[in-house]
């Protein structure tokens, strides 16, 4: 994997936590930053994808109803 450098300002406490974790595990702080960013980006991309799909669904004329109303309509 090709990498590039990104400079980020972190609160001192967060940097200390990263350093402590790295010391305990023998891994570089950058390992944990990359893992956290990867997970966050995956989640954010999923969120935006779901939001776009929902907006397309609404634009197509579909509607939602509250769960309580759905249960009432189905006599649940």
pLDDT at site 39 = 98
CB atoms within 10 A of CB 7: 4
In 3D space, the residue among 51, 50, 4, 56 whose CA is nearest the CA of residue 30 turns out to be 4
Torsional sign, CA 39, 41, 42, 47: positive
pLDDT > 90? residue 30:
yes
Tens of pLDDT, residues 5-27: 999 999 999 999 999 999 999 99
pLDDT at site 63 = 84
């Amino acid at each position: 994997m090709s990498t590039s450098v990104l400079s980020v300002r972190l609160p001192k406490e967060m940097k200390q936590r990263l350093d402590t974790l790295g010391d305990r595990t023998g891994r570089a702080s950058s390992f944990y930053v990359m893992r956290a960013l990867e997970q966050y980006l995956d989640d954010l991309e999923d969120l935006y994808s779901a939001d776009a799909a929902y907006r397309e669904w609404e634009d197509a004329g579909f509607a939602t109803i509250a769960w309580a109303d759905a249960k009432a309509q189905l006599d649940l």
